[in-house]
Structure 1
């Protein structure tokens, strides 16, 4: 009997300690930082969906063993502990290189051409790739294309767009050559394997335009561009409507 009483006493003490630890380290304040693709509530629901994960000790164990869960556009989540009851979730997004439109859905892919997710809406700042034949695809796998060379070129330009933070709304494939649409600019990049020099110089032009508050409009031809060449913006041609408006102003 004495042994049983001691065992019950030890068990009771352990239970009280566990309850104490749970309430002492229960997380009350959560801050989410870093993500551009998910809301705070979506991140919190992901991280705290596991049993007892609202406790700092348990959350730390999950983080170090099985992980905190995953979402298509999330690379990783790190937890910063500020003492009892308060944590910050640092979210690191995957780099989305672009998307294609397929059957009314937008199919997003990363820098390696891996399909991340399909969504009915287009995310802001992600260029749409048009004119290509991507065939069938599976989420979590790379696109299968008939022309691997063109696909590699798209991946190269997409990575550089992200690297230089270039505003791009569309990347069009025309007879194997690439055309980039950025703001009011139509940029003929040509047919090449890599576009490092072109995108590097374009980034400088855009940076200068922002500093000097200039609006770039027209066409840029970079089909035969070589490192060190100047970039020339050809202004848009006047349409018949514009000519008529100009004549009316002159007559008045």
Structure 2
């Protein structure tokens, strides 16, 4: 009887001790769209959520916190007071405007998020014809091959570190970039790497260009190219 009472007392003291513990150190990895502070504030949004016991039970048995552009996250407890948050962000290549919202989509054209927020580094995609949009469903465009064009273009832009505000496609799927006050006519998707390499060099030398630059005449075999430029 005394042993049982003592065991209960020890257990009670143990859980009281745990309840007084607090997560003080939080490491965040895998985040690109959000800062570590923003991720921390979204997941640990109350005093109770910083209790390691409550946090662990909530993480294991309750739905995870919903964070825009985040597919999921994982909590790794290094100690009762030290936690690592591993963030798995949604893959986003662009967005279209629809009913006063920005509909962000991934490389396959799946709508992954609807928000009024502007995601830094993600261009607006214009010129596409589409029907009714449903979240988590493919963007209903006439020709789905355009998503390959968008993916290829955004990847090459990223490699060349060219930040674009808008990518506009015409009916022939020819692309035009909007970079602040500069419009860049790229034409067809042929020799796109070379066109964007030229654009990178031009922007490096003339970062404040304002007008229309025509790179649709790019020819890889031309060692001394000249391009038409119409100043605003």
Aligned-pair distance for 1:64?
A: 7.8
Query: 2:192 aligned with 1:195, yes or no?
Result: yes
Q: How do 1:1-252 and structure 2 match up within 5 A?
A: 2=1, 5-24=2-21, 26-28=22-24, 30=26, 34-37=31-34, 40=37, 43-44=39-40, 46-48=42-44, 53-56=49-52, 59=55, 69-75=65-71, 77=73, 85-87=81-83, 89=85, 91=87, 93-176=89-172, 177-192=174-189, 195-206=192-203, 208-209=204-205, 214-227=207-220, 232-237=226-231
Residue 107 of structure 2 contacts residue 148 of structure 2 at CA under 8 Å; is this kept in 1? no
- Summarize deviations over 1:87-123 as a string: whole Å, max 9, x none: 5646564443211111221111233322122223434
Q: 1:144 to 1:159 in 2, by over 3 A?
A: farther
Residue 108 of structure 2 contacts residue 147 of structure 2 at CA under 8 Å; is this kept in 1? no
Structure 1 Cα separation of the partners of residues 155 and 161 of structure 2: 10
Q: 1:80 to 1:216 in 2, by over 3 A?
A: farther
Greater share of helix residues, 1 or 2? 1
Matched with 1:242 is none
Structure 2 Cα separation of the partners of residues 156 and 200 of structure 1: 14
TM-score relative to the length of structure 1: 0.69
Q: 1:157 to 1:179 in 2, by over 3 A?
A: same
Mind listing any 5+ residue stretches in structure 2 that lack a counterpart?
Answer: none
Q: 1:226 to 1:63 in 2, by over 3 A?
A: farther
RMSD: 3.8
Mind listing any 5+ residue stretches in structure 1 that lack a counterpart?
Answer: 239-252
Structure 2 Cα separation of the partners of residues 60 and 122 of structure 1: 33
Residue 215 of structure 2 contacts residue 227 of structure 2 at CA under 8 Å; is this kept in 1? no
Structure 1 Cα separation of the partners of residues 214 and 184 of structure 2: 6
Larger radius of gyration: 1
Task: Report how many residues are paired.
Answer: 229
- Summarize deviations over 1:165-200 as a string: whole Å, max 9, x none: 322111111122111111232222223378344334
